[in-house]
Copies of this chain bind each other. A is one copy, B any other.
Amino acid sequence: MLQYQPVPLDLAFQALADPGRRAMVERLSLGPASVSELAQPLPMTLSAVVQHLKILEAAGLVKSRKVGRVRTCALEVEAMSQVERWIAERKRFWSQQYDQLEAYLAQTAPEENDR
């Protein structure tokens, strides 16, 4: 548990940017599934699902194993946690104020406006 050199969480954010991929993650959050099971509710070919799966795996968000002709996939919770942590840390700093923008502007110039 020394250091996660975590495939820069760049890949994770990029992977989660796609709605189809997020749908796959949602499905996997309920438990492992085969590629076909992942594909079944999605409006795209199996081929496309396999491609998305590769992206999720490259991002470390999903892991899979093939047994016989079936590939079973599962969520990698740790990668999810990394993303979660990044957000939590950005929030920590300035998150006290109800509305930081107004507060900041009021502090320097009183009563000015534009958008």
Contacts and interface: CB of A to CB of B under 8 A. Distances in A.
Interface string A19-61: 1001001101111100000000000000000000000000000
Contacts of A104: 31-32, 72, 74
A5 interface: no
| Range, interface on chain A | 35 or more
Interface of A: 10, 13-14, 16-17, 19, 22, 25-26, 28-32, 63-68, 72-75, 77, 80-81, 83-84, 87-95, 100-102, 104-105, 109, 112-115
* 7 smallest beta-carbon distances between A and B, as pairs: A17-B17, A66-B114, A74-B101, A29-B90, A32-B104, A67-B112, A84-B87
